Amino acid sequence: MSILLVMIPLSIALLATAVGIFFWAVRRGQFDDLETPAWRVVLDDDSRPPQTIDGGEDR
């Protein structure tokens, strides 16, 4: 059981790292906008001029 003496403190260290990374991500604004990125996939072709959507090399 003495392996616990290593594993549990190790898990706590990992936990602390995870929390630290998360705090950093929040500070960098990664979670500021949770909606736009999802829409971006659907919407970005809208803003392009039509010729780049259906245009071939021969035009």
Partner 1 sequence: MTRCFHCHEPVPEGIDITVEIAGEPRAMCCQGCAAVAGLISTSGLAQFYKLRTEPADKPDENSRRWDVFDREQIRDAVTDPLPDGSRELLCAVPNVKCAACSWLIESVLGDLPGVVELSVNPATARLRAVYRDPLALSEFLARLDSLGYRPQPLTPDAVLSAQRAERSSALRRIVVAGLGMMQVMMYAIALYAGYFEGMDNATRDFFRLFSAIVATPVVWYAGWPFFAGAWRGLRTLRPGMDLPVSLAIGGAYLASAWNTFTGGREVYFDSAVMFIFFLSLARWVEMRLRHQAFELGYAAGEELPQHALRWTGERWEPVALAELTPGDRIRVAAGETVPADGVLLAAAAQVDESLLTGESRPVPKHHGDELIAGSLLLDETIELELVRTGRDTLLSSIRRLLERARATRPRQLAAADRLAGFLVIGILVVAGATAVFWSQVAPERAFEIALAVLVITCPCALSLATPSALSAATTALLRRGILVVNTSALETLARVSRVFLDKTGTLTTGEMSVFRCDLEPGTDIDETEAHAIAAALERGFSHPIAAAFRPFDDQRETGRVRNEPGQGIEGTVDGTKWRLGRAGFACWQASQSMIDDAQGIVVLANEQGPVARFEFTETPRADADQTLRALDVPVTLLSGDAPEPVNALARQLGIDEAFDRQSPADKLLRVRKAQDEGGTVAMVGDGSNDAPVLAGADVSIALGKGSAMAGRQADVLLLGERLGAVAEAIDTARQTRRVVRQNLTWALGYNLLAVPAAAAGLIPPWAAAIGMSLSSLFVVLNSLRLSRRSQEDATASTSTRFAEAT
Task: List residues binding partner 1 (CB under 8 A).
Answer: 1, 4-5, 8-9, 11-12, 15, 18-19, 22-23, 26-33, 36-37, 39-40, 42-46, 49-53, 57-59
Longest dimension (CA), the chain: 74
Do residues 22 and 30 touch, judged by C-beta distance below 8 A? no
Least Å distance, CB 59 to partner 1, is 6
Least Å distance, CB 14 to partner 1, is 10
Least Å distance, CB 43 to partner 1, is 7
CA distances from 26 to 2, 19, 36, 37 (A): 37, 10, 16, 16
